[in-house]
């Protein structure tokens, strides 16, 4: 997923969308930027599961174009949008049963030692983290 973000954040369509979404915010309003991008992906990109029995991962521009995706697709798009305007991101793979991962979300760094959770698949606010997690794996972008 990280390699998809590293390529995707450089695509003009991704940077243009990010800058369009933060238009009107005051300079260096980083919390505002995070909020605008998060709520766009959460509310405007429809959550749609993968093909039955087939795990897929779409590139950010494709998710933006088709306006749907599952948790990894929405997380990749959100991370690419954030990274395209200078925000550091990482992914957290989550498991709700030992030995398996079934969900992923994006986090962005808001201070040197603080990461903010962004789950664009749930109608929850910025900072929400799913309950019941028994396993997690971090992947930096």
Q: Is residue 112 scored above 90 in pLDDT? A: no
pLDDT digits (tens, 9 = 90+) for 72-104: 999 999 999 999 999 999 999 999 999 899 999
Residue-by-residue DSSP string for 29-63? -HHHHHHHHHHHHHHHSEE-PPSTT------HHHH
- The percentage of residues in the chain with a pLDDT greater than 90, rounded to a whole number, is 96
pTM: 0.96
DSSP annotation of 92 reads E
Query: CATH for 2-140?
Result: 3.10.620.30
Give the start-to-end residue ranges of the domains of the chain: 2-140
């Amino acid at each position: 997923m990280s390699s998809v973000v590293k390529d995707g954040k450089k695509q003009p369509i991704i940077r243009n969308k990010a800058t369009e979404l933060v238009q009107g915010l005051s300079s260096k309003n980083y919390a505002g930027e995070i909020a605008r991008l998060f709520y766009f992906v959460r509310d405007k990109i429809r959550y749609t599961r993968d093909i039955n029995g087939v795990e897929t991962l779409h590139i950010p521009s494709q998710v933006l174009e088709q306006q749907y995706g599952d948790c990894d697709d929405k997380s990749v798009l959100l991370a690419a949008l954030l990274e395209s305007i200078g925000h550091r991101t990482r992914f957290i793979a989550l498991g709700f049963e030992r030995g398996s991962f079934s969900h992923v979300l994006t986090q962005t760094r808001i201070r040197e030692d603080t990461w903010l959770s962004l789950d664009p698949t749930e109608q929850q606010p910025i900072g929400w983290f799913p309950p019941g997690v028994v396993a997690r794996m971090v992947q930096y972008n």
